Structure 1
Amino acid sequence: MKQLKTVLALGASIGALSAGQALAQETKAQDTKAGEAMMITEVVVTAQKREEKLQEVPVAVSVVGEADLQRRNIGNIDQLKLVVPSFEATSFGVSVRGVGTSTFSTSIEPTVSTVLDGVVLGRPEMALGSFYDVARVEILRGPQGMLFGKNASAGLVSITTNAPKIGRLEAITNINAGQDGYNKSDVTVNLPLGDKAALRVGAFVNELDGVLTNKKDGRRFNGNDEWGTRAKLLWRPSDTVEVLITADYAKQDQSITWSPYKLNPTGVMGLTLAACGVKASPDNADLCIDGAQYKNRENYGFSAQVDWSLPGGLTLTSISAGRRDFDFSNGDSDSLPVNILNNNISNQDLRQVSQELRLASPTGGKLEYVAGLYYYRQKTNQVTDQTGTFGVSPVPIINSTINSLVDTESYAVFGQASYQLTDKLALIGGARLTRDKVSLDFRQFTRPGFFGINPTVTFDDTANHTNFSWKVGVQYQLAQRTMGYATVSRGYKGPGFNQTGVSNATTSQAVGPEIPTSYELGVKTTLLGGLAMLNLAAFSTKFEDYQAQTVDFTLTPPAFRTINAGELKTKGIEGDLTAVLAPGLLVTASAAYIDAQYGTFAPISCDPVTTPSGCVLIAPGLYGFNASGKALSGVSKWKTSLAAVYERSIGHGLQVNASADYGWRDGYNASATGDPNTAIKSYGILGGTVGIGAENDRWRLAVWGKNLTDKRFPSALFTTPFGGKGDYSQVLTGDAFRRYGVTLNLRY
């Protein structure tokens, strides 16, 4: 089996080593008359804030289109990791090319930004909802701050939903039902409103029973119960003006927790959980806790986009948006059926408004450009409340409460241009000037009647920063259907504050900006007269003053908090191949080789038992590990994704279709300390569908299977909170379990 996986990885890497995921975007081959060549449909992206052909954009971008989202049952951002090798998602956040942000401080922006219909989402949790009526998802790799904002220092995920269609009455229903209460279904109606307007309304439900069982009381965890709706109104009052108004709402109830992966059978935790009927293993889906465990989210938003066609082919675009997100969660942090620290309540109210105004030149000229102004403001009010007994009292006696209000305000002027120096050579240049102001009102205290975990701390602080980020490069037409490019980008992620618990009130809690510098070299080509597309990209990026949660030696005694921890370095090669092998048969292969390391990096937490060679005592009860020069945690050297889609007409207006997909990743360590107990072996996930439907796409019925080999793979693996020597836990999501189901697609 190991040899097979190696062959698959090498085969994919030879044919694909990154820069566009044509496995995406309606790369559906056209079944033509006998003797006529089949062609791959052009992939359109908005990676440079205008619609362009993927093969002409000098950016490493992966695209997953509507048909592929449905065919592979990709329901949210987290599942994109099975399709895009350079993208990764865990229970703690998302990353691109191995780099992401993992911290509980709400003032720290994500390293990978998320954009929904042109609106930048300030926090990653605002984009964790289900996909429905989505036209495409683009994953841009490398710093994207020139056009998309300051919180895109490692990459960006852009989600585009379908716009209303004027003059067309349309009704679409997609029903997906499977094992374990799986139900991901949606309905969309497109209503024409005269000859100048149209309304598109959609709604969805996404349900899954919990895949983990609590042996204490039978509760199920790590499932999903979600629903939502979206309405989009398109109005064209004249030939030069188009107005698109969008409103959406979603509600989600989850209960994400962990299960024992490995236990010391003679330890307190091992003996306690064994008495409850829990047997730890990589396949274990049982746990035993007595406290509450839930995460409820409610979010909604509004946006208005106006596009004016101006003389000279110019387009002026205005996007005004507002969003609000409520997160309410509680977790039994002690992993045991006793109340040590049963309550870890976190309530968050997030509000943001943004305004973007940009001017785009027409395409096809010697000079093409996009320039604009951007304003953004976000307020986040968060209350965390921890209580427990610490095992010494029948009732909770300890407490730590933190109330923080973060106010972020940002102004920016940006632009990017391409100048055609010759018929083959174009120069690329871009810049963004950003002014950030982040204020924190912080209150840490102990509620009356409890003993305190942390000292009482009260302070207000403000961080201001002005940044100039830039991009330069060249684009060269190597042949009629082959384009090459080389770029250098200087990115930026704004300042913030440590809010994860303050142990020293006299120390500044400010965290400075994070600055990446990225070099990228790419080639995009169309082969065999349009029967294949091959995109390749090589990259090298260095992050300075990386924002992370680690050990701060400026404190006495040293303590863990969010600081500018040091450097990260990531380099590698990526690729994508799409090819029509026969009439009706489309094959895609993507691969990424990523070498990600810590540079000069502040010590991180460690377990002196499992990593004795590098784990040192830095304060009573506090151990640190110097991660400098070590491999970045959670990053596989190799990741590949393979897929094949086949469609064939069988007469009587019917056609059969089948698809298979396989995602594989190399082994990696979930901990930067190199703890052998957190090493995860390589694994692959296999899926497939078989269906029949109408040639005119009016209906389709299919059966599908996901994770057909029932491979357990953790999205996180770590030493168990409040555990002892040899105790480890993992997070298993629904994707780590085999599941079969049926799909019915109806279109009128």
Structure 2
Amino acid sequence: MMKMSKMHKRVMSAHGAMLALTAAMPIAPAIAQSAQNAPELQTVTVTAQRRTENIRDVPVSVTALKGEKLDVLISGGEDIRLLAGKVPSLNVESSNGRTFPRFYIRGYGNTDFNTFASQPVSLVYDDVVQENPILKGYPIFDLASVEVLRGPQGTLFGRNTPAGVVKFESEKPKLGKVEGYYNASAASHYTVNVDGAVNVPLSDKWAMRVSATGQHRDEYVDNYSDLAKTRKTSEEDGYNEHAERVQFLYQPDKTFSALLNVHQRQTKGSARLFRANLIKKGSNTFADGTDLDSIVTNGQNFQTLKSNGANLRLTWDIGAVKLFSITGYEHVSDYFSRGDIDGGTPAGPGFIPFQVETSDFISDLDQYTQEFRAESQYAGPFNWQAGLYFFDEDVTGGNENFNSDTGARTTRVRSTQKNEAWAAFASATYNLTPDWTIRGGVRYTKDEKDLRTVEATNIVLVGPVVPVSESKDKINWDLSATYKLTKDINIYGRAATGFRAPSIAAASEFSPLSVANAETIKSFELGVKADLFDRRARSSFSIYDYTVKDQQLTVVGGNTNVNRLINAEKTKGKGAEFDFEAAISTALRVSAGASYNYTQIRDGNLSVFKCAQCTVTDPLNAAGRVVIDGNPLPQAPRWTVNATARYGVPFRDGELYVFTDWSYRSKINFFLYEATEFTGAPLTEGGLRVGYIFGNGKYEVAAFGRNITDQRRITGAIDFNNLTGFTNEPRQWGMQFKGNF
């Protein structure tokens, strides 16, 4: 009998568990019987293949968040990190608070906090890629949908998509009538969230939609300068943020439309709060006596961000072919985030070898994108789309160090990076029979980067400081087949490749300039999607296997404050994903999702510096460095589970309802090496909402709670000085009122 590796046994065991879960939930006779009188679920459409299609027909593992479920998640004014764990295989985290989010799909992402960092998960907002991480935290408001596309999407989407795509689509202007909404909530820590939108027809050919949001939280964490907590110097962990979006639609007839989108964002508030020796030595729990409502530091924690942009989408319908032009521009005029990353004072808490206060900044960022695409609209079995894509980015930014006693800046490094790329792509769909459909696509990409350090004040950089240029071209492809097992059940298989261009990290006083070579991925996926019980339920299940060659990894910290790029010879990933939604009765509706993601670094020659004070559980090589071969990827939970339930009953002239949502993720690794203290414990967060909808559905009042069990966990760390860590958000209770017109 052939022997299976430990990894394959784990994956097969996970697949078996997922299949059991699939069988237990949607096929239960009790659900089938109770669903007979329930309303049909509305068809969910997605644009995962750049066309509007029924989610069941798309041969990609994709989850869409829309409507009430999305509204509930954003009710407390949280930032984009709220999406973590809310759909299978998705994690989002940040060491910069509300700015600079980092995305992970199927365990595959990048912990790089460098100003010029690139990520293998692409965020696409209104068909425009947001490449630099500082652009990816735009607030969530007035959205039609959020789609999470898992696995390589390197044929149809423009930039760095080997892990997948998170796709946002805002509500669009409509011709015909005035409509809109307004929403206001107030919650714990004097958190206020206000947003709204109005659609205004300007004529029979013109329409405008204006959307805005404002978010505020009081500084609620007391900051003391002494361990006895007698000298309170400030309060921390609050924010003020507002964002606006104005769109104009011109549609003179059915053959042409033009949509102009202008938007901006301003953020000011606390940076991430770093807490010295937050982690108890020899464990991954809080140190004894931890009080998360206070902190003892002698440095500053704040951040500011100003960004704006515009895009123009033109569409021509010439019968058999539809033409698209998508022009995008994004600009950052000011980004500055400063933190006391040693997390304390010279006296503590705990042992702090030296004081460190740093900042990252972007003084100027300009991103231009242009896509031309043609899409066929044939009535026959064959259809295609093809296009050209251009990308141009120019960023100036760097980092600074400060004296915590005086507040004065001590050193400054500033660099510029120029990134230009272009691509040509094509894909086709062919219906072999009424039951069999095949799809395939190909994309050629040429990518060039140039980095130059233009300022080094009061600092000696490691290694020669010379301009560096990197260039790479690559052909990616994907191929899939879908078979209609019945009129309501599709099975599919997909093979796809992906590509991320080389990355460059500027030199520092601790590390020379580093370059990570291009990484590539080859992925295989099998799945089933079904509408069940006369379309009163839907379910999807997928299994996948991928191999990343030359994966770009980021070495952060160790024994100095470094941010260095390396390549792993190979990374393996395997797993399974499950989505389910059902109308159990006219009153009860539920959803559930789960994922199992197993990742493993495979490079016997790869080692990194170990942490300053933690308990490393990996082997050390002869040089005293940590061997990371066989480790999971950072921020990659093995398991994620999410579930929602809504129960509503008529009450007077409206509906009284209860809505609850829950998410769970298993333990995570903070860094490339494994250490007892830097392993994040499992995290479960729940939400509860009790509301009343009245006035023929026009008005809603609700009481809500987020993280209602107040489960606090260490979600990230800094390892080069002490056992510094930071945490998830606290429990929040609030009230909300929403009106539609």
Pairwise CA RMSD of aligned residues?
2.9
Partner in structure 1 of residue 638 of structure 2: 637
Structure 1 pair 498/359, CA: closer, same or farther in 2 (3 Å)?
Answer: same
1 CA distance for matches of 2:119 and 2:279?
34
Partner in structure 1 of residue 595 of structure 2: 592
Contact 1:15–1:577 (CA<8 Å) still a contact in 2? no
Task: Report the alpha carbon displacement of residue 207 of structure 1 after superposing the two structures with TM.
Answer: 1.4
1:428 correspondence with 2:439:
yes
Partner in structure 1 of residue 425 of structure 2: 414
Partner in structure 2 of residue 284 of structure 1: 292
1 CA distance for matches of 2:432 and 2:56?
20
1:577 correspondence with 2:580:
yes
Contact 2:568–2:602 (CA<8 Å) still a contact in 1? no
SS at match of 1:47: coil
Name the amino acid aligned to 1:442. T
TM-score when normalising by structure 1: 0.86
Partner in structure 2 of residue 207 of structure 1: 216
Partner in structure 1 of residue 738 of structure 2: 745
Partner in structure 1 of residue 626 of structure 2: 625
2 CA distance for matches of 1:624 and 1:589?
43
Matches within 5 A, 1:605-620: 605-607=609-611, 610-611=614-615, 614=618, 616=620
Residue identity over aligned pairs, in percent, reads 25
Contact 2:280–2:677 (CA<8 Å) still a contact in 1? no
Deviates more, 1:91-100 or 1:523-532: 91-100
1 CA distance for matches of 2:222 and 2:16?
39
Contact 1:211–1:220 (CA<8 Å) still a contact in 2? yes
Matches within 5 A, 1:696-711: 696-711=696-711
Q: What whole-Å deviation, never above 9, does each CA across 1:561-614 have from its counterpart, x for those lacking one?
A: 212233222110001111111113111010001111111162123137644664
Structure 1 pair 588/283, CA: closer, same or farther in 2 (3 Å)?
Answer: farther
Q: Which of the residues 538, 541, 555 maps onto 1:536?
A: 541
1:70 correspondence with 2:33:
no
Name the amino acid aligned to 1:184. N
2 CA distance for matches of 1:625 and 1:200?
55
Partner in structure 2 of residue 381 of structure 1: 396
1:96 correspondence with 2:96:
no
SS at match of 2:84: helix
SS at match of 2:714: coil
Identify unmatched segments of 5+ residues in structure 2: 1-14, 24-34, 96-101, 226-231, 347-353
Partner in structure 2 of residue 481 of structure 1: 488
Task: Report the alpha carbon displacement of residue 398 of structure 1 after superposing the two structures with TM.
Answer: 9.4
2 CA distance for matches of 1:712 and 1:518?
36
Matches within 5 A, 1:215-614: 215-216=224-225, 217-255=232-270, 256-260=272-276, 262=278, 284-312=292-320, 314-325=321-332, 326-338=334-346, 340-362=355-377, 365-388=380-403, 399-443=410-454, 445-447=456-458, 452=459, 454-455=461-462, 457-499=464-506, 501=508, 509-550=514-555, 561-600=564-603, 602-607=606-611, 610-611=614-615, 614=618
Contact 1:260–1:284 (CA<8 Å) still a contact in 2? no
Name the amino acid aligned to 1:634. Q
Deviates more, 1:290-299 or 1:139-148: 290-299
Partner in structure 2 of residue 731 of structure 1: 726
1 CA distance for matches of 2:295 and 2:305?
24
1 CA distance for matches of 2:407 and 2:485?
70
Contact 2:511–2:564 (CA<8 Å) still a contact in 1? no
Structure 1 pair 245/382, CA: closer, same or farther in 2 (3 Å)?
Answer: same
SS at match of 1:676: coil
Structure 1 pair 715/370, CA: closer, same or farther in 2 (3 Å)?
Answer: farther
1 CA distance for matches of 2:302 and 2:274?
12
Q: What whole-Å deviation, never above 9, does each CA across 1:302-344 have from its counterpart, x for those lacking one?
A: 01101110122x2111011111023112222332224833343
Q: What whole-Å deviation, never above 9, does each CA across 1:251-272 have from its counterpart, x for those lacking one?
A: 011321222454679xxxxxxx
Partner in structure 2 of residue 23 of structure 1: none
Structure 1 pair 244/16, CA: closer, same or farther in 2 (3 Å)?
Answer: farther
Partner in structure 1 of residue 712 of structure 2: 712
Identify unmatched segments of 5+ residues in structure 1: 1-8, 18-33, 266-277
2 CA distance for matches of 1:102 and 1:82?
17
Contact 1:404–1:441 (CA<8 Å) still a contact in 2? yes
Structure 1 pair 444/618, CA: closer, same or farther in 2 (3 Å)?
Answer: farther
1 CA distance for matches of 2:582 and 2:190?
37
Structure 1 pair 500/101, CA: closer, same or farther in 2 (3 Å)?
Answer: farther
Partner in structure 1 of residue 179 of structure 2: 170
Structure 1 pair 99/35, CA: closer, same or farther in 2 (3 Å)?
Answer: closer
Structure 1 pair 116/675, CA: closer, same or farther in 2 (3 Å)?
Answer: same
Contact 1:117–1:159 (CA<8 Å) still a contact in 2? yes
2 CA distance for matches of 1:481 and 1:153?
30
Q: What whole-Å deviation, never above 9, does each CA across 1:7-66 have from its counterpart, x for those lacking one?
A: xx999874459xxxxxxxxxxxxxxxx986510001111111111111111111111113
2 CA distance for matches of 1:643 and 1:37?
17
1:670 correspondence with 2:686:
no
SS at match of 1:113: strand
Name the amino acid aligned to 1:593. Y
Task: Report the alpha carbon displacement of residue 198 of structure 1 after superposing the two structures with TM.
Answer: 0.7
Contact 1:500–1:562 (CA<8 Å) still a contact in 2? no
Contact 1:659–1:688 (CA<8 Å) still a contact in 2? yes
Partner in structure 1 of residue 54 of structure 2: 53
Deviates more, 1:370-379 or 1:82-91: 82-91
TM-score when normalising by structure 2: 0.87
SS at match of 2:501: coil
2 CA distance for matches of 1:633 and 1:383?
24
1:181 correspondence with 2:180:
no
SS at match of 1:731: strand
Structure 1 pair 182/609, CA: closer, same or farther in 2 (3 Å)?
Answer: closer
2 CA distance for matches of 1:551 and 1:133?
36
2 CA distance for matches of 1:59 and 1:353?
29
Q: What whole-Å deviation, never above 9, does each CA across 1:668-709 have from its counterpart, x for those lacking one?
A: 343443312223333321211111122632101111111111
Structure 1 pair 183/612, CA: closer, same or farther in 2 (3 Å)?
Answer: closer
Name the amino acid aligned to 1:207. H
Q: What whole-Å deviation, never above 9, does each CA across 1:188-239 have from its counterpart, x for those lacking one?
A: 1111111111100011111123454322234333332100111011110222
Partner in structure 1 of residue 351 of structure 2: none
Deviates more, 1:683-692 or 1:524-533: 683-692
How many residues end up aligned between the 2 structures?
A: 687
Q: What whole-Å deviation, never above 9, does each CA across 1:48-94 have from its counterpart, x for those lacking one?
A: 11111111111111111132121233643210114113100111421
2 CA distance for matches of 1:281 and 1:374?
55
Name the amino acid aligned to 2:554. Q
2 CA distance for matches of 1:668 and 1:511?
24
